[in-house]
Amino acid sequence: MPRQLRIEYQGAIYHVMNRGDRREPIFGDDEDRNVLLTTLAETCAKTDWQVHAYCLMPNHFHLVIETPRPNLVAGMKWFLGTYCSASRKSLKREGDSLTLAWEAEGRSPRGA
């Protein structure tokens, strides 16, 4: 069964989580963490997202982001694609280091 379409809201706040493929580490060292945070900053500049909180763990990360425009899906596609391309080199892996099937729970600004 296909997953349900993601509902995006203008001004929504989302808890987004992504983990390493097969639960493997997504960071080789602090430089990889810096690359992810730099890529996140670039994503925010492109999408106008506001990051309220983040947590980087060895094999996954959590973000709490606000999307002034309903662009979570497009922004996550760019963010993960860009980071996967960069991290593949440092982790010396073939394919993507993150699962592209990320999870998000959101709340509309009106509490819907």
pLDDT digits (tens, 9 = 90+) for 74-107: 999 999 989 888 876 655 555 445 554 566 777 7
Q: Are 82 and 74 in contact (CB under 8 A)?
A: no
Contact yes or no for 79/97 (Cβ under 8 A): no
Residue 66 corresponds to which tokens in the numbers above?
């606000």
Residue 34: predicted pLDDT: 94
Q: Quote the pLDDT of residue 46.
A: 98
Structure tokens that stand for 96 in this block:
């993507």
20-42: per-residue pLDDT in tens? Answer: 878 888 888 899 899 999 999 99
- For the beta carbon of residue 18, count every other beta carbon within 10 angstroms: 20
Token pair, residue 52, equals: 């309220």
- pTM recorded for the entire structure: 0.82
Domain 12-107 has CATH 3.30.70.1290: yes
Average pLDDT over residues 47-65: 96
What H or E segment, with its residue span, contains residue 41?
A: helix 30-47
